[in-house]
Amino acid sequence: MRVLRLEQTGAGIEASSGFLPHRDSRVKGPSDVIPATAFWMMRAVKGQEPEPGSLGPHLMVVLSGTVRVRADGNDLGDLGPGDVLGADVAPDGALDLEWAGDAWLFYALTPRWLPSPGDNQARGDEARRPGRPLLTWIYDDNGTSRSEPFTWPGPMVPVPPTDEWPQSHGAFVTRRDYGDDGYAPGVWHNGPRPQLGFTLNGCAENETGDGTVTRPVAGDMAYIDDVTGAGHVTRGQGDRWMLFVTVAPEHLRSTPEA
């Protein structure tokens, strides 16, 4: 997991490693440690992405593909699935992202906030899914949780103006090192609120009441929407980092498959 921090200064764009504030996944706490206000997910070819300078402070999570980052003409290397870019760059064209084919990217607006400079010291993680990410919707169906493929409700591109993006009440990051000897036992639980959960590092098994088991790795996302009912169980493995982005009521409505 790499976190790249880019901040506009009087001397240009300052690049550094970014530190994501986090808590143990077993510790319940505030959901707005990161002041995320709106979000968008896109599957796009180069040229369809929003201009970074128009977004203000924001996070971008790579869900699939390899994204080359250049700022002020300097090559800052590649970001892959599970890697995060935190950027606040004012001039249009100062930050350029390049990738081959199409890439899945997730954006969250974080007004007046960027990761602090620092090192998260995440253990190495080689688990990467080739191709498109695993996108799962976990929801309650009359007391039993179910898993279905998640489909973004509408076209992903062109990316609309940010005032049309789904709204968020905030975001937060969790970390728990489960070890590498196998999936650690979990407990059945509900989602505390509708939220998008992005695997940044490590992997897991998610099991729902209908017997479906999904195995997310870095770059995968689950829309956790089972705030009622019997809930689901998560069994982690490795040094697992998760980014959770809350979803405001009625702002990301999905319909179960027939």
Q: What is the reported pLDDT for 245?
A: 98
Whether residue 108 is found in the same domain as residue 153: no
Final residue before a domain boundary, out of 65, 80, 114:
114
Distance of alpha carbon 140 from the chain centroid: 22
Final residue before a domain boundary, out of 49, 81, 114:
114
Mean local confidence (pLDDT), 8-20: 94
Q: What is the reported pLDDT for 126?
A: 81
Residue 121 resides in a domain: no
Distances (CA, A) of 173 to 42, 84, 120, 240: 22, 12, 11, 10
Rounded to whole angstroms, the Cα distance separating 99 from 120 reads 26
pLDDT digits (tens, 9 = 90+) for 25-66: 989 889 999 999 999 999 999 999 999 999 999 999 999 999
What percentage of residues in the chain have a pLDDT greater than 70?
99
Query: Could you tell me whether strands 195-207 and 213-214 are parallel, antiparallel, or unpaired per DSSP bridges?
Result: antiparallel
Backbone phi and psi for residue 130, each to the nearest 5 degrees, phi listed first: -70, 145
Residue 205 resides in a domain: yes
Residue 125 resides in a domain: no
The boundaries of the domain holding residue 191 are 135-246
Whether residue 194 is found in the same domain as residue 241: yes
Residue 256 resides in a domain: no
Final residue before a domain boundary, out of 114, 147, 179:
114
pLDDT digits (tens, 9 = 90+) for 189-234: 999 999 999 999 999 999 999 999 999 999 999 999 999 999 999 9
Tell me how many domains the chain contains: 2
Whether residue 106 is found in the same domain as residue 142: no
Q: Work out the mean pLDDT of the chain and round it to a whole number.
A: 95
CB atoms within 10 A of CB 185: 9
Q: What is the reported pLDDT for 91?
A: 79
Backbone phi and psi for residue 214, each to the nearest 5 degrees, phi listed first: -115, 155
Asked if residues 122 and 174 have their Cβ atoms less than 8 Å apart, the reply is no
Whether residue 139 is found in the same domain as residue 234: yes
Residue 258 resides in a domain: no
Best CA proximity match to 198, nearest among 39, 37, 7: 39
Q: Is 103 helix (H, G, I), strand (E, B) or coil?
A: strand
Lowest mean pLDDT: which of 16-20, 61-65, 110-114, 177-181? Answer: 177-181
Rounded to whole angstroms, the Cα distance separating 70 from 6 reads 10
Residue 28 resides in a domain: no
Whether residue 102 is found in the same domain as residue 12: yes
Rounded to whole angstroms, the Cα distance separating 135 from 37 reads 22
Whether residue 215 is found in the same domain as residue 173: yes
Whether residue 82 is found in the same domain as residue 163: no
Q: Which two tokens stand for residue 17?
A: 């490693």
pLDDT digits (tens, 9 = 90+) for 107-129: 999 999 999 999 999 998 888 88
Q: Which two tokens stand for residue 140?
A: 């309650």
Residue 242 resides in a domain: yes
Residue 122 resides in a domain: no
Give the CATH number for residue 104.
2.60.120
Rounded to whole angstroms, the Cα distance separating 100 from 87 reads 22
Rounded to 10 degrees, what is the CA torsion of 118, 244, 240, 125? -70
Long-range contacts, stretch 147-150, CB < 8 angstroms, 24+ apart: 147/206, 147/208, 147/210, 147/212, 147/214, 147/232, 148/256, 148/257, 149/257, 150/221, 150/222, 150/223, 150/254
Q: What is the reported pLDDT for 258?
A: 53
114, amino acid identity: L
Whether residue 146 is found in the same domain as residue 72: no
Whether residue 142 is found in the same domain as residue 225: yes
Confidence band of 257 (pLDDT split at 50, 70, 90): low
